Amino acid sequence: MNLEWQSVNSEMIDAEAYDPDTERIYLRFKDGKEYYYESCPLEIWEEFTADGQSRGKYFHSVLKFKNTGRYS
């Protein structure tokens, strides 16, 4: 799979990507580790990436409760 990573301005997240086919959000953290978060339909991706949305706050309130795995 070839993800299109997008850099973000966040204290904890370096880059993000989304795969609509698997409904997974992929995050690359500042330490270089990459994880995916499952069961994320397009609506969640759009909420997470909305203008003015704090990635860290959204991560802690929504994404960290999703099934996850190490991507790389």
Q: Count how many domains the chain has.
A: 1
23 exposed, middle or buried (CB, 10 Å; 0-12, 13-18, 19+)?
A: middle
56, amino acid identity: G
Query: What SS3 state is found at 56?
Result: helix
Per-residue model confidence as pLDDT tens for the chain (72 residues) = 789 999 999 999 999 999 999 999 999 999 999 999 999 999 999 999 999 999 999 999 999 999 999 997
What global pTM score does this model have? Answer: 0.94
Asked whether residue 1 is domain-assigned, the answer is: no
16 exposed, middle or buried (CB, 10 Å; 0-12, 13-18, 19+)?
A: buried
Residues in a beta bridge with 25? 18, 37
Q: Which domain holds residue 27?
A: 6-70
* φ, ψ at 24 (rounded to 5°): -120, 135
